[in-house]
Structure 1
Amino acid sequence: MIAEKPIWVRHEGMQIFSIDVQPGGLRFATGGGDHKVRIWNMKSIGRNLENNESGQRLLATLRDHFGSVNCVRWAKHGRYIASGSDDQAILVHERKPGSGTTEFGSGEPPDIENWKVAMTLRGHTADVVDLNWSPDDSILASGSLDNTIHIWNMSNGICTAVLRGHSSLG
């Protein structure tokens, strides 16, 4: 399927590197070169809402990475979203009650939804470029430019295995 990106889906003029739709289809997330994960309202994609400026399109901006966000992946149950970045970290965000905040001086409106870091996973020594949840969300696999895959136990955030053997084409 080919779809055209709505003009309002953006990352402050920077590239968008990843997109993932939440199971159930209520939200979608993007990760970009501005070091941010953005959570969008899927209902805003409809033709009738395309020109509705007052619609709640952007639900939250997650500003916790220190490098480009290369990958965003919703957990299968839709409660968590994981993101991998050039900062070598994997952040797992969870939606909390209430509305969110905004960065002082950013000029952006306050977040409609409140998303907070529930877990930070560290162990890669290069950019994290891919993520995949197990069917029951108990395990997260991460791939990196350090030529490894890390397997994470999501009940405690511990890396249970490091798969080596991939090499760069060089």
Structure 2
Amino acid sequence: MSCARYLEDIYLYDELSPAARLIIDQHVLTCDACRALLEEVQQQSALVKHASTARPAPAHAKHLTDAILARIEQPAQRATVVTRLLAPMDSLFVRYSLAAVSVGLLVLFVSEQYSGPVVVKRMPGPAASATLNTGVFLKQYAEEKKQSKPTTPSWYQCLRDESCAASLFETHKQRKLSSL
């Protein structure tokens, strides 16, 4: 009788049905090699079951606990560069001062946006100051631009707007024909 067909069942002995176990038990009574293998597999299985339920215990539990507590209670010895730079921000005076400066800059920005296009420039010498009304200047410039004859658009404008694509195509076609 060949033992090769029983080897797989011996390794899976704990997972077999009662009928399959009975067959293995009958074979093991007559075969010493398979009996030794079955005993070894059962010992290893019992060892694995025991190891999975056993709780690990550190060799030096008191030393481990002391080392962990020492690390937790130890304050940070070196502060990072960012912490050192932000340390003055802990003061309420500094925070409120920066907030006031920010509000002041915001007010200046908004007031300049709403003050209109009038610019006053002080000059040394006989003229005490000069006022340049940019709103009037821009209106005059826009009117002059409208009255001047339209200029031919650049290649970039033609390609971007596609407004003169036909004329560009005709110019290109004429150049090709003249080169022949």
Same fold (TM over 0.5): no
* TM-score interval (norm. to shorter): under 0.3
Q: TM-score, normalised by structure 2?
A: 0.15
Larger Rg: 2
| Greater strand fraction, Structure 1 or Structure 2 | 1
Q: TM-score, normalised by structure 1?
A: 0.16
| Greater helix fraction, Structure 1 or Structure 2 | 2
